[in-house]
């Protein structure tokens, strides 16, 4: 779907769902000034178009006993598809890696890792370097989470 396929009502619905995806359709409809059926259709359209990829539970890291967040920047030893495929498979298989991105600049990839403590991080680190070669690995431990959201801006729809 293109930009013009979504309107302000879709933006409002999406903003509401990003805060609470369990909110009943009737409550969403009331907030956006429509009846339940058109709101349900709009949500289904956003799901079928792929705009809404999934509805998930956001888990509290501390209560899940993984309060430590570590960002790991790595540089590949060479830029080859074979290495990239192995890296991608490796990070998919390590549950502590909750996010990963390919970057421009001096660092090739960055991973967000959540663990209970530094010993658990060391086990993740050792697994990474045991299974794949890296030119450099730089880790930064987060001292404080200043902002966390899963919501993306809807004004650009």
pLDDT digits (tens, 9 = 90+) for 25-35: 999 999 999 99
pLDDT, residue 58, reads: 94
Say whether both 72 and 36 belong to one domain.
Answer: no
2 pLDDT higher than 60: no
Domain enclosing residue 79, as ranges: 68-141
Please check whether residue 32 lies inside any domain of the structure. yes
The single residue listed with the structure tokens 């792929």 is 50
pLDDT, residue 102, reads: 98
Q: Kindly report the CATH number assigned to the domain that includes residue 101.
A: 3.30.70.920
Mean pLDDT value across residues 109-135: 98
Say whether both 23 and 86 belong to one domain.
Answer: no
Q: Kindly report the CATH number assigned to the domain that includes residue 25.
A: 1.10.10.10
Mean pLDDT of the chain: 96
4 pLDDT higher than 70: no
Summarised one tens digit per residue, pLDDT across range 48-105 is: 999 999 999 999 999 999 999 999 999 999 999 999 999 999 999 999 999 999 999 9
Say whether both 42 and 91 belong to one domain.
Answer: no
1 pLDDT higher than 70: no
Q: How far does CA 103 lie from the centroid of its chain?
A: 16
Say whether both 90 and 130 belong to one domain.
Answer: yes
Please check whether residue 130 lies inside any domain of the structure. yes
Mean pLDDT value across residues 107-122: 98
Asked if 139 contacts 125 with a C-beta cutoff of 8 angstroms, the reply is yes
pLDDT, residue 5, reads: 87
Say whether both 81 and 128 belong to one domain.
Answer: yes
Say whether both 83 and 27 belong to one domain.
Answer: no
Say whether both 40 and 84 belong to one domain.
Answer: no
Say whether both 135 and 75 belong to one domain.
Answer: yes
Specify the pairing of strand 109-115 against strand 68-75. antiparallel
Say whether both 44 and 72 belong to one domain.
Answer: no
Which residues are within 8 A (CB) of 3 and not within 5 positions of it... i.e. 6 or more apart?
A: 156, 157
């Amino acid at each position: 779907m293109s930009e013009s396929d979504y309107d302000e009502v879709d933006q409002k619905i999406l903003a509401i769902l990003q805060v609470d995806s369990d909110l009943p359709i009737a409550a969403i409809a009331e907030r956006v000034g429509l009846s339940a059926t058109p709101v349900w259709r709009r949500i289904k359209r956003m799901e079928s178009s792929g705009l809404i990829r999934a509805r998930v539970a956001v888990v509290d890291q501390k209560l899940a006993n993984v309060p430590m967040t570590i960002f790991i920047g790595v540089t590949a030893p060479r830029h080859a598809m074979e290495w990239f495929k192995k890296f991608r498979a490796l990070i998919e298989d390590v549950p502590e890696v909750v996010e990963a991105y390919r970057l421009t600049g001096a660092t090739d990839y960055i991973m967000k890792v959540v663990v209970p403590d530094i010993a658990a991080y060391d086990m993740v680190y050792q697994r990474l370097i045991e299974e794949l070669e890296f030119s450099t690995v730089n880790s930064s431990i987060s001292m404080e989470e200043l902002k966390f959201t899963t919501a993306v801006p809807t004004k650009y729809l």
